[in-house]
């Protein structure tokens, strides 16, 4: 399945059927898409980040529908070009990010990527960009290893240590 063809409202799912003796049968299904929920966001310091944009990068481009683990991307997407639903990967915020935590209602989606932060391959990351005073800033937050069915919930604090 190609990430570019996914629809977060009706994601591709697959699973396994477990039949037990007697009359009981269970069907376990899970989507390939993994939600990345940004619960809150803030920036250290006194200058706000204006016109902020949240974007996933190095997103696994393809995944086998019946695969449960071992997701190691052969190719990744850097941006939302060509996606049927670009908001899966990119959201512009309608407010500035300040020093007080701001609750968000943002969910982005990616495919599993078990390469994490190691040297094995690209790690799916969240990029937060915007203007701080007159300077363009971008913060990279690696998401680590993401397995099928994972839901990642984040409270983000932007610091100079993750500034690109």
Q: How do beta strands 25-31 and 90-92 pair? A: unpaired
User: In the chain, how many domains are there?
Assistant: 1
**Which tokens sit at 50?**
């204006």
What whole-number distance in Å separates Cα of residue 129 and Cα of residue 139?
6
CATH number reported for the structural domain that contains residue 146 in this entry = 2.60.40
What whole-number distance in Å separates Cα of residue 5 and Cα of residue 48?
36
What whole-number distance in Å separates Cα of residue 25 and Cα of residue 19?
4
Q: What's the Cα-to-Cα distance from 116 to each of 11, 78, 146, rounded to whole Å?
A: 23, 16, 7
pLDDT at 17: 84
Q: Are 56 and 48 in contact (CB under 8 A)?
A: no
pLDDT at 27: 84
Rounded to 10 degrees, the C-alpha dihedral 31/32/34/35 comes to -50
DSSP state of 86: G
pLDDT at 121: 66
Instruction: Give the range of the structural domain holding residue 77, as residue numbers without chain letter.
Output: 3-162
Q: What's the Cα-to-Cα distance from 2 to each of 32, 73, 83, 122, rounded to whole Å?
A: 10, 12, 10, 18
pTM for this predicted structure: 0.89
Could you report the average pLDDT of every consecutive run of 10 residues in the chain (164 residues)?
A: 94 86 85 96 91 96 91 92 96 95 95 77 90 92 93 93 63
DSSP state of 116: T
């Amino acid at each position: 399945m190609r990430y570019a063809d996914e629809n977060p409202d009706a994601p591709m799912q697959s699973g396994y059927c477990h039949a037990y003796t007697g009359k009981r049968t269970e069907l376990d299904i899970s989507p390939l898409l993994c939600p990345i929920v940004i619960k809150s966001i803030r920036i250290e310091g006194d200058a706000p980040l204006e016109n902020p944009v949240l974007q996933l990068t190095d997103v696994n481009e393809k995944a086998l529908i019946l695969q449960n683990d071992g997701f190691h991307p052969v190719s990744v997407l850097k941006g939302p070009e060509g996606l049927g639903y670009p908001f899966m990967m990119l959201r512009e915020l309608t407010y500035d990010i300040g020093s007080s935590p701001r609750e968000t209602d943002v969910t982005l989606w990616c495919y599993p990527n078990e390469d994490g932060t190691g040297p094995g391959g690209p790690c799916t990351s969240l990029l937060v960009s915007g203007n701080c005073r007159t300077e363009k800033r971008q913060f990279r937050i690696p998401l680590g290893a993401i397995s099928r069915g994972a839901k990642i919930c984040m409270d983000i604090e932007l610091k100079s240590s993750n500034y690109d």
